[in-house]
Amino acid sequence: MLDVLAMVMAGGKGERLYPLTRDRTKPAVPFGGKYRLIDFVLSNMINSDIHSIYVLTQFKSQSLSEHILENWRLGTILERHFIIQVPAQMRTGETWYRGTADAIYQNAHLIRNHKPEIVAIFGADHIYKMNIRDMIEYHREKEADVTVAAIPYPKSESRSYGVIEVDESWRVKGFQEKPEKPAPIPGKPDLILASMGNYLFNSEVLLEVLETDAKTESTHDFGRDILPSTYRDFKIYAYDFRRNKLPGLEPGEANDYWRDVGTIDSYWEANMDLRSVTPKFNLYNKYWPIYAGRIPAPPAKFVHNMEGRRGQALNSIISEGCIISGSTVVDSVLGPFVHIHSYSEVSQSILMEDVEVGRASRIRRAIIDKHVLIPPETRIGFDLDEDRKVYYVSPGGVVVIPKGSKYDRPPYV
């Protein structure tokens, strides 16, 4: 895999995830208790034996930079084993990154210096597991210039995705951006092929199309501009994510989970997908681990065992350092060092690091960001009109309390 260079796009604002992106870029948003969104693509890279990785950052990147520095250090002996953050530097003019393609173009010197056979351009804000080696083998088998990762979805969902039109051999013959009348997969009239935003380019082809795009008036985006303008001149193939061969799957278990957590509701739903007995997305495959930083914390603790005051968690993910004291947690995801005091109940919620919930509180369908103190006898998620007076409530009815907020309104009944 030393002939593969990875460029991870981690500069997104994530405006639809506000207020979780108020203080951080989207790839730095915590997920699943102990992870950040970027940990999934970086884990996929490392598990796939891709060790030459540049992470391109731009907006509100301090939190992400600290996370990479503290938790994603590779060895210093092997020259081509690295994960390096590359901030926007205006190398090609007086502009920041104007799109995904422009971000790569402004750092084309890294590709020229590295001289890889293939450049893997992947996003940093999706939840999935992918053996990228399998996609690379497909790319080489097809003798492709470009390969686009794609996943079949019902035709009715086409308005949410960039749709790829392919022939019977899965060679790309068109692109449609969120179409009303999408082109179906050949032989499968009820399915469309949605782009996952992950690409493999032969390096010479990539440098050529970036030079051409830089001279044109466009949004300088791979999905909107680069691929639609080049599929006639180069061999571009779609890679079916469902065929991905992932080690450690249970018999009958499919590797077809991919989520773009671009909104508060989709983010909440993806976290909820983790906590069932047979989760839609399984974190417990030891042959394909998702790496996260080691937190110097004691094990989670559940205390008190009497009627009406029993520390317990059901169908939930509880991170290290948590204390569930005489309270009940149901269908929820708790980050490190969460402390829930007695007689409280938390359900269908995401509580991030260092959240403290006071006695006799009830929280339902909420996302509480880091370092928030919830006073005793507080109710959240039971009267959305009241919640909207103080905090953001998503279209799906999820209450979001931003990082470090002082929950200072009186409790209501």
User: Could you read off the pLDDT tens digit of each residue along the chain, which spans 413 residues?
Assistant: 559 999 999 987 889 999 999 999 999 999 999 999 999 999 999 999 999 999 999 888 899 999 999 999 886 667 778 999 988 765 555 566 678 899 999 999 999 999 999 999 999 999 999 999 999 999 999 999 999 999 999 999 998 899 999 999 999 999 998 899 999 999 999 999 999 999 999 999 999 999 998 888 888 889 888 898 898 999 999 999 999 989 998 777 888 999 999 999 999 999 999 998 888 898 999 999 999 877 889 999 999 999 999 999 999 999 999 999 999 999 999 999 999 999 999 999 999 999 999 999 999 999 999 999 999 999 999 999 999 999 999 999 999 999 988 655 444 33
pLDDT of residue 407: 56
Q: Domain-by-domain residue ranges, the chain?
A: 4-272, 301-401
Q: Are strands 146-154 and 191-202 parallel, antiparallel or unpaired?
A: antiparallel
Residue range 4-272 in CATH 3.40.50.300: no
pLDDT of residue 14: 86
pLDDT of residue 410: 43
pLDDT of residue 96: 62
Pick the CATH number of 301-401 from 3.40.50.740, 2.160.10.10, 3.40.605.10, 1.10.10.10: 2.160.10.10
**For the whole model, what pTM was predicted?**
0.93
Q: Please give the C-alpha separations between residue 292 and each of 36, 88, 140, 194, 407, in angstroms, as whole numbers.
A: 8, 25, 32, 29, 30
Phi, psi of 71 (to 5 degrees): -120, -10
pLDDT of residue 105: 93
Is the previous residue joined to 19 through a cis bond, with omega within 30 degrees of 0? yes
Give the helix/strand (H/E) hosting 318: strand 317-318
Closest C-alpha to 332, from 276, 289, 413, 288: 276
- Using CA atoms, how far apart are residues 320 and 300, in angstroms rounded to an integer? 5
pLDDT of residue 76: 67
Question: CB burial class (10 A; 0-12, 13-18, 19+) of residue 224?
Answer: middle
